[in-house]
Structure 1
Amino acid sequence: MPTNAFALSRMLIAERSSLVRRLARMLGSEPAAEDVAQSLYLKVQRIDDDPPILNKRAFLNRLATNLATDWLRAEKRHDALFEMFDPTPDVPSDTPSIDRQMLDSERMRRFEAALEELPLRCRQVFVLRRIDGLTPGEVAARLGITVNAVAKHVRIAVRHCHARMQDDPDA
């Protein structure tokens, strides 16, 4: 084993606990500090004798700091990557399923067809009253009919649409 690697390995083993504590403060995690210390040990094993390292303690500390910085950058990239693609499966979606959307679309088509079967005046009254939300008095004034006629047309339209929707096997 080269002299630099041997001396750095002995120093790392002797000062491992204080180095891991310092790395844990930098990284915010003791398991991460242990991982970086292990990487440091492996890196130290590959150091050559040329050029000779004069201040081995400073070199070891700088190497540990660089590895910790690299670990933090990698962790930041990892978090950013998975944050972009996280579908958050624990959060239920408000969007109906495709099956539900298809069934609802088919029911809406059947309802619109039932409305089209109504006489024009009856359809106009129903749309103004139930879809547009006008009061019976407003519908009567707009169409020039009585409030009782509005109620009668709405009743006819509701019965007709209800009967047509009951014919639907998915209702």
Structure 2
Amino acid sequence: MLIAERPMLVRRLARIVGSEPVAEDVAQSLYLRVQRVEDDPPINNKRSFLFRLASNLAVDHVRAEQSRARMQAEAQALLWSELAPPDPEQAASLNIELARVLKAAATLPEPTKSIFRLHRFEGLRQSEVAAHQGVSVTTVEKHVRRALAILRRARDGE
């Protein structure tokens, strides 16, 4: 029945979700869901059940997309919102903190300094850094953790 009703189902789903490609995805989900439906107790009107199930899946999909869009908008607002510029006292404190971190970064021991630079500033994955330096990934992880600990202590003025 699902195959016979598919064109009509996809049209109905497209009206609900607003897009034929998305309706096709929901129809595929419907196919998977129908495979799990048992006929105990017997379903009297299978066609009606099929269309109700399709509508429910489409509405669930729309709600999930709306929720996802809302969360994404909130995340974007948090990430890209304008921050108030720091007052002069905060700016001075931040400059001192930055100077401590830069000084600590400059004095990182080798190979911690090179490994940290390759991973964090040049964007190499840890496995790539390990191959480049001729060490294990575990060693790279250890050096990155060490560098972060040193920089964190410098930032905190320890």
With normalisation by structure 1, the TM-score equals 0.46
With normalisation by structure 2, the TM-score equals 0.49
